[in-house]
Amino acid sequence: MADGGTDDVGARLERRIEELLDARAPTSSICPSDAARAEDADGWRDLMPAARDAAGRLVARGAVQVTQRGEVVDVATARGPVRIRRPR
């Protein structure tokens, strides 16, 4: 992606989500904060909106689902904690 800006962070977070899911059982899920922490252990809180955006792009490609209390939700409108998993 582009020039060292947000697009690069977003692409890195997409890769982190994929890597974290690949390292877990197919039935497991992760929190967007797991990807943010893997990217920046100290500044992960600032990356949370970008991590949720990255999950949304992966949903659009069919690579993941975002859930809340076990139900698939739209990450763009979900409020509160969400989980990311492989499609089932």
Confidence of residue 5 (pLDDT cuts 50, 70, 90): low
For 6-64, the pLDDT digits (tens) are: 579 999 999 999 999 999 999 999 999 999 999 999 999 999 999 999 999 999 999 99
Q: Rounded CA gap, 88 and 85, in Å?
A: 8
**pTM of the predicted protein model:** 0.91
Q: Rounded CA gap, 65 and 74, in Å?
A: 9
Task: Show the CA angle centred on residue 33, arms to residues 85 and 21, nearest 5°.
Answer: 30
